[in-house]
Amino acid sequence: MGSLRSDREAQGAGRERPGATAGAGEGQLSIRAVGKIYDPDGAHVVALDECSLEIAPGGFVAVVGPSGCGKSTLLNVLAGFDHLTSGEVTLDGQPLAGIGRVPDPGPDRVVVFQNGALFPWFTVLDNVTYGPVRQRVLSRAEARERAMALLAGAGDLDRIADTYPGRLSSGMQRRVEILRALINNPKVLLLDEPFRAMDTVSKSTMHQHLLDIYDRFRKTIFFITHDLDEAILLADKVVVMTTRPGTIKMTIEVDLPRPRRRDMATSNTFLELKRQAIAAVHGEARKAFERGERELA
Q: Which residues bind ligand ADP (CB under 6 A)?
A: 38, 40, 45, 47, 65, 67-73, 244
Positive or negative: CA dihedral 180, 183, 184, 189: positive
The CB-of-82 to ligand ADP minimum distance in angstroms stands at 8
- Shortest distance in whole angstroms from residue 72 CB to ligand ADP: 3
Minimum CB distance to ligand ADP smaller for 174 or for 244 = 244
CA distance 194 to 188: 15
- Closest distance of CB 39 from ligand ADP, Å: 8
Q: How far is CA 122 from CA 125, 135, 171, in A?
A: 8, 17, 18
CB 130 within 8 A of CB 122: yes
Phi, psi of 72 (to 5 degrees): -70, -35
3-state secondary structure 151-199: HHHCCCHHHHCCCCHHHCCHHHHHHHHHHHHHCCCCCEEEEECCCCCCC
Query: Residue 269 belongs to what H/E stretch?
Result: helix 268-290
With respect to ligand ADP, which residue has the nearer C-beta, 158 or 227?
Answer: 227
Residue nearer to ligand ADP on the CB measure, 65 or 80? 65
Residue 67 or 163: which CB sits closer to ligand ADP? 67
Q: How far is CA 45 from CA 36, 38, 40, 50, 52, in A?
A: 8, 5, 8, 14, 19
Min dist. Cβ of residue 222 to ligand ADP (A): 12
Q: Report, in Å, the least distance between residue 284 CB and ligand ADP.
A: 11
| Least distance to ligand ADP, CB of residue 277, Å | 16
Select 73 or 247, whichever has its Cβ closest to ligand ADP. Answer: 73
Query: For residue 280, what is the DSSP state?
Result: H
Amino acid at the residue 121: W
Cβ proximity to ligand ADP, 69 vs 138, nearer residue:
69
